[in-house]
Structure 1
Amino acid sequence: MFIIPAVDIKNGKCVQLVQGIPGTEQVVIENPEIVAKDWENKGASILHVINLDGAFGNKSKNLEVVEKILDTVSIPVQLGGGIRTVQDAMDLLDIGVEKVILGTMAVENPETVEELSNKYGSNRILVALDSKDSKVVIKGWMEKTEKNASELGVSLQKKGAGGILFTNVDVEGMMSGFDMDPLLELLNAVDIPVIYSGGVTSLMDIENLSKTKTFGVVIGSALYKGKIDFIDALKYQKIL
């Protein structure tokens, strides 16, 4: 299981939001590329970057910051936020993003997953299944669908998704721990790697995740607020 630090970008800065709600910034750090390099220096094998402005509708914002991060680190970067078209995804894959994270687009138009998977390989295509009140939400977590993560996970796997980023929005940024049941249900439903995000607050949370088939865990607020020491977390990293 990979321990994956999050670098969320808003207005050109590294931030952490509560439940993804704009205006709830609890951490604001200048120069995200320096933050990214620091995680690499500490031993990160993968970096999780989200263009929050893109997720909320301004896809062009922060692209310069993304390019700086790609130029600064040598580890793979998985990136999401504001990828609304196949061309958006292609542009990012072509500049060196290792994996694109497709959320709204994948849920609303699954054929785009198939198209990108056929062109770039399924291993470079992640789909984001963000769960709120047991239903997948899209459009910056503002719109609820009628399906749960397991249902969508199975259908998108058939379309060529190479992995799933599963986020429990109910606990995202809340520093309150999380319920393992929705994740276990998804893990049992699909055969592709699942990365978990949301509410990871302690080393015990990481240890519990490491006992499952979870491929990786994204950690944000707990790292930036010092609740979890990244070096200690790496002790639970098992690279398959």
Structure 2
Amino acid sequence: MNIYPAIDLKEGKVVRLLQGMMDKATVYSDDPVRQAQSFVRDGARFLHVVDLDGAFSGRPENDKMIRAIVNSVPLKVQVGGGIRTSGRIEELLSLGVSRVILGTAAARNPEFAAEAVKQYGADQVIVGLDARNGKVAVQGWAESTELNAEEFALRLHDSGVSTVVYTDIAKDGMLAGPNLPASVKLAESSGLQVIVSGGVSSLADIRAIKAEADKGRGIDGAIVGKAIYDGALALKDVLAVTRGEEDAG
């Protein structure tokens, strides 16, 4: 099971949003590089980065910081936010990003996701599937669609996508636990590998996610953000649990 500590970038700073609302942002650090380095010290192998400005505007807004992060840590960095053209994918991969996360572009143009996977491979292109009340949300979660999340997941699988980051927007930033049943259902119904995102707040959550991953239920791992920044979770303890060291807390 993989753990992806998260850095959400807004105007070059590390922030967290409440349910994806840009006007409800809490700034946790003005030094994203230092934050990424702290994750390395805690034993992380992966990093999840979102260009929030890019997600809303559709334009690259934080490339200078993304490059600085990638160059400063030996982590596999995945980046999402405003990736809507093949040229943008190429730009991010050239920065040293390990894989990109398509969102709005994949929902609005499934053929784009299929072409991107064909060109760059399913190991370098994954999709963020963000849902509100079972419907896919786009444009930095600012807009809801009538696209059913499970139907969308099936389409993605058929187009060659292998992994999605699944976020129940109602859970994001609330520290109330992830929507694990929906994550497992999505994985099993679509055949996709699912990275659980939104609401992870305790070691009990991590153990529950790990239990599903260990059963071969299609759960790749989890993204952990706000709980780390608020001190509810220590990344070292999270990683220890994933290694089966149950006395970690």
For the criterion TM > 0.5, the same-fold answer is yes
By how many angstroms is 1:61 displaced? Answer: 1.5
Q: Counterpart of 2:94 in structure 1: which amino acid?
A: D
- Match of residue 237 from structure 2: 232
By how many angstroms is 1:58 displaced? Answer: 5.5
Cα distance change of structure 1 residues 148 and 236 upon mapping to structure 2, 3 Å threshold: farther
- Provide the C-alpha distance between the structure 1 equivalents of 2:142 and 2:15, rounded to a whole number of angstroms: 19
How high is the TM-score relative to the length of structure 1? 0.95
RMSD between aligned residues: 1.5
Q: Counterpart of 2:238 in structure 1: which amino acid?
A: A
- Provide the C-alpha distance between the structure 1 equivalents of 2:8 and 2:236, rounded to a whole number of angstroms: 20
- Name the count of aligned residue pairs: 239
- 1:75 lines up with 2:75 in the alignment: yes
- 1:216 lines up with 2:221 in the alignment: yes
By how many angstroms is 1:146 displaced? Answer: 1.7
- Provide the C-alpha distance between the structure 2 equivalents of 1:229 and 1:23, rounded to a whole number of angstroms: 27
Cα deviation code 1:123-148 (max 9, x no counterpart): 11111100111111111112212223
Q: Contact conserved, 1:124 with 1:162, CA < 8 A, in 2? A: no
- Match of residue 247 from structure 2: none
Q: Contact conserved, 2:177 with 2:200, CA < 8 A, in 1? A: yes
- Provide the C-alpha distance between the structure 2 equivalents of 1:58 and 1:113, rounded to a whole number of angstroms: 16
- 1:179 lines up with 2:179 in the alignment: yes
Q: Counterpart of 1:234 in structure 2: which amino acid?
A: L
- Match of residue 18 from structure 1: 18
Structure with the largest fraction of strand: 2
By how many angstroms is 1:73 displaced? Answer: 1.1
Q: Counterpart of 1:25 in structure 2: which amino acid?
A: A
- Provide the C-alpha distance between the structure 2 equivalents of 1:130 and 1:163, rounded to a whole number of angstroms: 13
Q: Contact conserved, 2:178 with 2:196, CA < 8 A, in 1? A: no
| Structure 1 unmatched ranges of 5 or more | none
- 1:198 lines up with 2:186 in the alignment: no
| Structure 2 unmatched ranges of 5 or more | 214-218, 245-249
Alignment map for 1:159-170 (pairs within 5 Å): 159-170=159-170
By how many angstroms is 1:238 displaced? Answer: 5.2
Alignment map for 1:135-154 (pairs within 5 Å): 135-154=135-154
Q: Secondary structure at the match of 2:87?
A: helix
Higher mean displacement: 42-51 or 52-61: 52-61
By how many angstroms is 1:5 displaced? Answer: 0.3
Q: Contact conserved, 2:13 with 2:31, CA < 8 A, in 1? A: yes
Q: Contact conserved, 2:76 with 2:97, CA < 8 A, in 1? A: yes
Q: Percent identity?
A: 37
Cα deviation code 1:69-117 (max 9, x no counterpart): 1110111100000112121112112221111000000111111112221
- Match of residue 120 from structure 1: 120
By how many angstroms is 1:236 displaced? Answer: 2.6
- 1:102 lines up with 2:102 in the alignment: yes
Cα deviation code 1:14-47 (max 9, x no counterpart): 1111111112122330110111111112111110
